[in-house]
Chain A
Amino acid sequence: MKLVRDTWLVYQRQLLLMARSPVWIAVGLLQPLCYLLLFAPLLTSALAASGAHSTSDAYRIYVPGLLSALALMGGLFTGFTLLGELHAGVIERSRVTPVSRVALLLGRALRETTALLIQSVLIAVLAIPFGLTVGLADLLLAMALLALMALMASSVSYGLALLVPTDAALGPVVNTIAQPLALLSGTLLPIALAPVWLRTAASWNPCYWAVEGMRALFAGHLDAPEVWRGLLLTALLTAVAVAWSARLFAQRIR
């Protein structure tokens, strides 16, 4: 009960701060919009091999990848906001209160998740006039999967920020993790296009299964095995990531 209350307290504060600096929304939307408008049209012909015969097909393959990349990347880089708060003494001020340590993590990770969901919904809706078609149930489930990915990535990022608590060091660490993770999950182009060895490597990347699930949902295959496999695996990983990060919070931010 205390955990829920404290998480709500932290989450509310984080939302308030987010609403006060709307720059992130503009920046966060602009980049994916550029990809949507300037890059996706190229894909109709490029993706012909994986069965895209129209712009609509191309978007169906591309948009879920873009959203997944957004959730993973956005989440993984959110540790920097925690560094800012650590330097400003905000975290230390919370630490001397009896507030739940896990709530300090969850409230922040859920803020990040909320931000990414708002972005994702906007992008999905904006893609509709360009020919994306997606069912409501599929979209809702896709958003649930995205939320899990964002929660997982931001928990990992907060954990890393506690382990590597300087701006200069955290950047390279996050990049080193994020780049292969994103490439090996086929966020930009489906891994199906890749040679066998790359596909084998990707199958060891749990994020690959999440992205596959996303693509199945946007293709309208609600009952495809990729969907529940992706959801289950991501849920499991999210639980592990949150537990790991929460433990670090409890240890380092006693």
Chain B
Amino acid sequence: MIVTKGLRKSFRPRRGAAAVDAVRGIDLSVAEGEIYGLLGPNGAGKTTTLRMLATLLVPDGGAATVAGADLRAAPGEVRRRIGYVAQGGGTTDQATAREELVLQARMYGVRKAEAVRRAEQGLAAFDLAEFGDRVCKTYSGGQRRRLDLALGVVHRPRVLFLDEPTVGLDPRSRSQVWAEVRRLREQGMTVLLTTHYLDEADALCDRIGIVDNGGIVTEGTPEELKQKISGDSVTIGLPDPAATTGAERALAELPCVQRLEALPGEDGLRLHVDSAATAIPQLLRTLAAVGIEPEHVQLQRPSLDDVFLALTGRALAHSS
């Protein structure tokens, strides 16, 4: 449904300044009915990629097909087939949700009576009927976001682009937006979204492309990505420094241990193993053989944060 090849874009911060590559060649392939997430820190090139695909920016190079239309040869056709919801939305404070929906449908060429009908359906579908005739400035963040989504799909596009769909929302509104996006997918819509939230990518996306420095570093399902690195990690708490040194020496020999390091600021070890389920009994047996009694053992499944850290050498949470 979306295929890109080497999509590129650079900007000049000022006239005469050196060009900065925002996107250095993105190759994407998103299947019909899939929710694909571009995950990365701010400034990685996610939004630029999305804006190119939504015809808002002209790519400097590369090619893309969106919903069967060629992005560079027929941007008008792409426009008709897609919906786009910008990060900040785009509603007018003094207009009501119903008026916005009617206008949006009409800007897509829908006739007036049909536009009125679609506005009604949109209000019902996105749980906005109750205040559909109040002006937008009275809405909460979550209500505004649901209206943004309703506006993005009022012309029934086949592909929907969402730029940071839940930035600034409270947890309840977030999960509501997630539910709406899943519902759209169930209706057969293809969704390409950007996010810098790991939990969002994990919970919502069928596939994720990790974006850093203007390119896709790796992609896969959330599970695949997590398996790609480290396996699991196990933390073992130990009673004193001597036990820690002893345990380090004994455990480093084990074939199931990929690497291990002392815990900073406390007595204990952090180990990376292929599979915690089979490794933990071996670890405990080895420690018992050298007479060391662990205080506690903890198992951590890898998070997408670990994936990001492993791939880019930086933690996502700190790079934004």
Contact = CB atoms under 8 A, between A and B. Distances in A.
Interface of A: 6, 9, 13, 16-17, 20-21, 85, 88-99, 254
Contacts of B95: 13, 16-17
A5 B289 CA distance: 85
Nearest to A91: B90
A99 B107 contact: yes
A96 B55 contact: yes
Instruction: Point out which of B76, B99, B107, B151 has the most chain A C-beta atoms below 10 A from its C-beta.
Output: B107
Contacts of B107: 6, 9, 94, 97-99
Contact of A89 (B75, B82, B89, B106): B89
Interface in B262-293: none
A98 B77 CA distance: 9
Given A17-B95, A97-B104, A97-B108, A92 B86 contact: yes
A94 B100 CA distance: 11
A216 to B, nearest CB: 40
B212 to A, nearest CB: 26
Interface of B: 54-56, 58, 75-76, 79-80, 82-84, 86, 88-95, 99, 103-104, 106-109, 135, 151, 155
A224 to B, nearest CB: 44
Nearest to A94: B107
A140 B239 CA distance: 96
Contact of A88 (B54, B83, B92): B92
Contacts of B103: 9, 13
B147 to A, nearest CB: 11
A88 B104 contact: no
Contacts, number: 66
B48 to A, nearest CB: 14
Nearest to B83: A96
Nearest to A6: B107
A96 B84 contact: yes
B205 to A, nearest CB: 22
28 contacts: A9-B106, A13-B95, A13-B99, A13-B103, A17-B95, A85-B92, A88-B88, A88-B90, A88-B93, A89-B90, A90-B90, A90-B91, A92-B56, A92-B90, A93-B86, A93-B89, A93-B90, A93-B104, A94-B107, A95-B56, A96-B55, A96-B82, A98-B76, A98-B79, A98-B80, A98-B109, A254-B56, A254-B58
Nearest to A20: B94
B163 to A, nearest CB: 10
B92 A96 contact: no
Given A89-B88, A89-B91, 15 more contacts: A17-B94, A20-B94, A20-B135, A88-B92, A88-B93, A92-B90, A93-B86, A93-B104, A96-B83, A97-B104, A97-B108, A98-B109, A99-B108, A254-B55, A254-B56
Q: Which 5 A-B pairs have the closest CB atoms?
A: A93-B90, A89-B90, A97-B107, A99-B107, A96-B84
Contacts of B75: 254
A169 to B, nearest CB: 14
Contact of B108 (A13, A16, A98): A98
A97 B153 CA distance: 11
A21 B95 CA distance: 11
Contact of B79 (A17, A90, A97): A97
A88 B87 CA distance: 11
A99 B55 CA distance: 13
Contacts of B89: 89, 93
